[in-house]
Structure 1
Amino acid sequence: MAKEIERKFLVASEDWREAVVEVLPMQQFYLATAPDRSVRVRIREDTAILTMKFGVQDRVRDEFEYPIPMADAEEMRAYAIGRVIKKVRHKVRHRNHIYEVDVFGGDYSGLVIAELETPDDVPDADLPAWLGREVTGEVAYYNASMALRERPGDML
């Protein structure tokens, strides 16, 4: 089991694009969600991952991830609740950390969210200048919430 310290931010500028080290188109859908847990399937190219997250703290949750056969992932899509989230993840290096900048498509086209997952808490002074408002703990910005709810008008 991995402990996940995750912070989420809106993105304030395009400056992050200069430091992209990898680009990964993906889709993900949820099989179950509750305030303290979620079960999702994420598909990237020819790989699929089943992820379970547990916990209610804003920054720290328990996470379990398992590779699953692509055929199983495709079959599980029929059991998805809500919409399939489509996004392109850009891995961006800043100092000693990799930020995941997600550029959303579909119903959330135009939304860009940066995530920082680390085993330790990064001080605000060490965050890149291109990050905007922190939205860690704001349920509307959880991917599971986006799969189940309509897009709030102030989300951009």
Structure 2
Amino acid sequence: MAKEIERKFLVASDEWRDGADTGTRLLQAYIVTMDDRSARVRLMDDTRARLTVKISNGSMTRDEFEYDIPLADAKELMSKAIGLTIEKTRYEVKHRGFIWEVDVYGGAHDGLVIAEVELSAEGDTPDLPSWLGAEVTGDPHYSNQYLSTSPLVSKADHELSYSPF
């Protein structure tokens, strides 16, 4: 079992693109969603699939169990999912010793752009890139679990001031 420790931010500009990789197209859907736990299936570039179970303990740290699964199984599970399928492209951006994951959402949440950084300990203090906006760590409204089951929101609700494309 792994521990996931991360901070999450809205993205305020597209300056991150200068250091980004080519990105990975992700589709993810939730099979189980509860206040403190979830089970999701994720397709990556429609060539690989993973099943992930996350259990929260109320802090920045969550228990995370991830397993590669056959693509056909993932597609079958997605057909039985709760709520919306999340569509996004994930880009990795290296910044001063940390790898930031920038998710550019499409589909129902088109226009939302969120950056996450995984930490090795809750006390880690990464240098924050200038292209970050407001921190939303711990705000359930910006979790993929919430986005898969929430009412649709507009770009203005995410405080975007630029076009992510």
Is the contact made by 1:13 and 1:131 (CA closer than 8 Å) also made in structure 2?
yes
Is the contact made by 1:29 and 1:42 (CA closer than 8 Å) also made in structure 2?
yes
1:118 aligns with 2:119: yes
Counterpart AA for 2:20: V
Misfit runs of 4+, over 2 Å: none
Q: CA deviation at 1:74?
A: 0.8
User: 1:155 maps to which residue?
Assistant: 158
Alignment partners' CA distance in 2, 1:18 and 1:39: 34
TM alignment of 1:61-72, pairs within 5 A: 61-72=62-73
Task: Give the unaligned 5+ runs of structure 2.
Answer: 160-165
Alignment partners' CA distance in 2, 1:150 and 1:106: 13
TM-score (norm 1): 0.94
TM alignment of 1:18-37, pairs within 5 A: 18-37=18-37
Counterpart AA for 1:59: M
Is the contact made by 2:30 and 2:148 (CA closer than 8 Å) also made in structure 1?
yes
Q: CA deviation at 1:55?
A: 1.1
Alignment partners' CA distance in 2, 1:44 and 1:82: 19
Task: Give the unaligned 5+ runs of structure 1.
Answer: none
TM alignment of 1:9-88, pairs within 5 A: 9-45=9-45, 46-88=47-89
Percent of pairs identical after alignment? 49
Alignment partners' CA distance in 1, 2:104 and 2:113: 5
Alignment partners' CA distance in 2, 1:56 and 1:107: 29
Is the contact made by 1:102 and 1:112 (CA closer than 8 Å) also made in structure 2?
yes
Alignment partners' CA distance in 1, 2:138 and 2:118: 14
TM alignment of 1:99-110, pairs within 5 A: 99-110=100-111
Alignment partners' CA distance in 2, 1:151 and 1:92: 28
The one-character-per-residue Cα deviations of 1:89-119 (angstroms, maximum 9, x if unpaired) are 0111101111000000011001000011121
TM-score (norm 2): 0.89
Look up the SS of the partner of 2:100 in the other structure.
strand
Is the contact made by 1:35 and 1:56 (CA closer than 8 Å) also made in structure 2?
no
